[in-house]
Structure 1
């Protein structure tokens, strides 16, 4: 037989079994009895089965992409959060009465059979005779709720400058403001618009040149933001504003507030102490989690609001957003669109309609743990001091909205501060990565058969030899050998 010819496959396999570093395989080629060879064959098959079983379990665990959650607390200086506050009354009653939006209130007054003369500051209100109320039928089953939504839609039709003219001014809203014991004024606040509460004020102000907030080096009420606010109930809108107080939200500096969803309502006649402690949540994106790391939305609430606005625009043909960049010709929603808007909200709530893109929580969420305490304010024996302070304030701004009885009806005190100077971070990290999978995979191979990476290389070499042997020519039988066989 020529040395270049094809070798018997049995010889190649026998040579591999005799020389491989994998345990147990060489026992199949030893000159042992058939019973021992059969025993080792069963052991090898059993070990191979256990390897396959364990490896599939490891792969399934890796495909689940588990995460571990770690919590760390760092004591450090902190950036004071943004504090946004809105009067629950979005528009002054005396100013609203000068505009066509007041027909909403007049229609409710006629429906309830309540004269507007029962309310203060309605002397300038147009007479109901100026409006054609052939009937007072409403489009939905809840006239009061419908009227509130209709008034909000009318309010949104105003420009930002127009709203500043008819809403409560900062000077009449904020009676006293101190931050860390230092007085603050309207220059420390930014004016924003909220579609539910009208004009709101955010402390501290944020401009293009100011990218960082105020650093806090001490915890406690003495180093926080202390406010005395005047909601001026004499100017509350009849039938539209349902409660007296302010809406307040504490959020990360520079971020957008969501007053309706995340704000808390604070009542007049109370002092509210709010101690906050920041918490940062860091989640893993795909494939370990489902959070959104695209950066398209600041929060899941922004996505949800954008989704609802898009559904209203597509179905009702109008928009509730003051600035519509995609379609500047899209008209603002009005009273005629209220049934459609309510139907969209109900269908979205019931799951009949959904957004084109599922809204997911962002991978980084900055939140605050809050400790809130409230006490009746001012105390009876402290009331004269507050009234003295209010009178001095009223003299400066030439206003007279207070008397000796109504301080608790119009005023509230708020103190926002860090309860402790610590930043808590709750972070997800992969619990089982590819390196761990390889390590466990190698452990199973070594445990059951003593196989290493080099042993796997030997198997690859075996496949190479078998394939190469297939392409070699078969051995030829010489003519002399044939003659010898015939003889």
Structure 2
């Protein structure tokens, strides 16, 4: 018998046999691919047959015709697309307008909120008997007489012009000044509290002195007097303010009220800030104002004389240059106050402030104010914007020690900055290039950081006013009381401020769609269109993870068993050698 080597036997294999081997290998690969496709198809059929989603089981059933399967596949796809579109609308509504403002279920009694802070400013900024502003205005603006004024007179005129109408401030005056000098000059010529207030009553109880109720406060209007405003240590961050002069007197009374939490439960009736205890004139504030005709100045503030009054939140610094009502001379003004309060539910805290359109106290830090309100934020923003634009600020604006105080020569810039701050966003969109003016670019950056949204808890006071003539001389004559010659020049004005009603309705910011509402809406749509539920999610996760893992594990076990079986049935090495022996 002739023995052939293994190499010879392999080398002499006919080409037809090689082609057959390659074809069989290709068929084997095709079978493997078909096996994988068949496995995936079987897996999908298994899911569709066992899924609880509507319509899927008809797609995977073998007894269904192709037309039926295409119909149910089309219907299922349409339901998925339509449901996705509706869920998107629900998502946009939840994301873009998550807040709804509604009325509270119960009314709020007025004793739960503070009585409004009342700030009074005299329209005459300089008493003519102390400093004749009209006289010095003509002397200052006359080229032949301006040289005769002393430095003290010129500086005093420029300081007083800061609180008069803007067009009266001399453009050629000082651009900057020392704030404490300006404030002291204004205090010298303005009437003090005893000269302005003749008598006061609080809750129908006369006070010996109005200085017990009203304290001086520095505003954009100059020196004014305020009632029921929080003390300087509670309102300002005094560590960041300039120390040249005080904006508000420090209070020696303990303050228990806060804007967010209100009065603590066990707070006594008499506290500070004062709270309302009822409604009507007997439960309010009454004060009598006076002025002498000889002291009236019709140039500084124009032909309308009397007093400006503003009702505001006790935690806000008043801005009487923006909003107020008048108390004319020889008139009695009756003010019926109606509070407006807005609260916010705790469920809105996780939302973005822009989405809910308000700030909680811990979300917004103010450099000069301890209490965040929209008015305080706007005041601080105006300070920073004016400083960036003009290099100085008005003395009535809270500012830091590094900021200079503007004087008469900068009044035009201050006025322009106030107007620009309102329209800065529009200007930014119209004027793309800001490199020509560095101060404008810096001011726009400051304005962009403002974003003074309302506080999530806010209180406003709406005033309904009525007035009538106040003829004090007729009263004196009726009671046969003598009138001194020096008193004939006096003019009086009486103001009565009280709550209109004992209770009011509070507005409340709350969730339009909470997480539960959003989930319920989405679940309702998914259940309506597809029969989808939480178990459907669990089912999908099961088929993508545990079921898939188990199938692969079974295949691996089957392969191992086949290999062992094949090895058991295959010939030994010796037997393989004998196969090459002819």
Q: Please classify the TM superposition score into its range, dividing by the shorter chain length.
A: 0.7 to 0.9
Q: Where do 5+ consecutive residues of structure 1 fail to align?
A: 114-125, 392-399
Correspondences of 1:5-404 after superposition (within 5 Å)? 8-28=39-59, 29=61, 31-72=63-104, 73-78=107-112, 79-96=114-131, 105-108=135-138, 111=141, 129-130=148-149, 145-148=166-169, 158=181, 163-184=186-207, 185=209, 186-203=211-228, 207-211=251-255, 212-237=272-297, 239-242=299-302, 243-282=304-343, 286-293=353-360, 294-297=363-366, 298-321=372-395, 326-328=400-402, 330-348=403-421, 350-351=423-424, 352=427, 353=440, 354=444, 355-363=447-455, 364-378=457-471, 381-382=474-475, 384=477, 388=481, 401-403=486-488
Decide whether aligned partners of structure 1 residues 384 and 319 sit closer, same or farther in structure 2, where only a CA change above 3 A counts.
same
Equivalent residues, number: 442
Q: Match of 1:122?
A: none
Q: CA deviation at 1:17?
A: 2.2
Q: CA deviation at 1:273?
A: 0.3
- Is the 2:126–2:191 Cα contact (8 Å) retained in structure 1? yes
Whole-Å separation in 1 of the counterparts to 2:480 and 2:118: 26
Whole-Å separation in 2 of the counterparts to 1:302 and 1:387: 51
Decide whether aligned partners of structure 1 residues 238 and 144 sit closer, same or farther in structure 2, where only a CA change above 3 A counts.
same
Decide whether aligned partners of structure 1 residues 274 and 377 sit closer, same or farther in structure 2, where only a CA change above 3 A counts.
same
1:13-60 deviation line (CA, Å, top 9, x unaligned): 222222222232222315234443333333322322332222222222
Decide whether aligned partners of structure 1 residues 269 and 319 sit closer, same or farther in structure 2, where only a CA change above 3 A counts.
same
1:344-371 deviation line (CA, Å, top 9, x unaligned): 3454455345324133232232101222
Q: CA deviation at 1:218?
A: 2.5
Whole-Å separation in 2 of the counterparts to 1:148 and 1:202: 31
Whole-Å separation in 1 of the counterparts to 2:312 and 2:461: 7
Question: What SS is found at the alignment partner of 2:181?
Answer: coil
TM norm structure 2:
0.66
Higher relative contact order (CA 8 A, sep 6+): 1
Whole-Å separation in 2 of the counterparts to 1:390 and 1:160: 36
- Is the 1:163–1:199 Cα contact (8 Å) retained in structure 2? no
1:434-469 deviation line (CA, Å, top 9, x unaligned): 222211221122212222111221111212234665
Q: CA deviation at 1:161?
A: 5.8
Q: Match of 1:417?
A: 498
Q: Which moved more, 1:456-465 or 1:88-97?
A: 88-97
Whole-Å separation in 2 of the counterparts to 1:270 and 1:24: 82
Whole-Å separation in 2 of the counterparts to 1:156 and 1:237: 24
Whole-Å separation in 1 of the counterparts to 2:499 and 2:483: 28
Decide whether aligned partners of structure 1 residues 324 and 10 sit closer, same or farther in structure 2, where only a CA change above 3 A counts.
closer
Q: CA deviation at 1:89?
A: 1.4
Whole-Å separation in 2 of the counterparts to 1:341 and 1:146: 12
Question: What SS is found at the alignment partner of 1:341?
Answer: helix
TM norm structure 1:
0.77
Q: Match of 1:395?
A: none
Q: CA deviation at 1:64?
A: 1.7
Q: CA deviation at 1:414?
A: 0.4
Question: What SS is found at the alignment partner of 1:95?
Answer: coil
Larger radius of gyration: 2
- Is the 2:119–2:226 Cα contact (8 Å) retained in structure 1? yes
Q: CA deviation at 1:279?
A: 1.1
Whole-Å separation in 2 of the counterparts to 1:259 and 1:149: 23
- Is the 2:383–2:398 Cα contact (8 Å) retained in structure 1? no
1:312-354 deviation line (CA, Å, top 9, x unaligned): 32343333236876344x4432233334334434544553453
Q: Where do 5+ consecutive residues of structure 2 fail to align?
A: 1-34, 159-163, 232-250, 256-271, 367-371, 428-439, 572-582
Decide whether aligned partners of structure 1 residues 455 and 462 sit closer, same or farther in structure 2, where only a CA change above 3 A counts.
same
- Is the 2:379–2:397 Cα contact (8 Å) retained in structure 1? no
Question: What SS is found at the alignment partner of 2:417?
Answer: helix
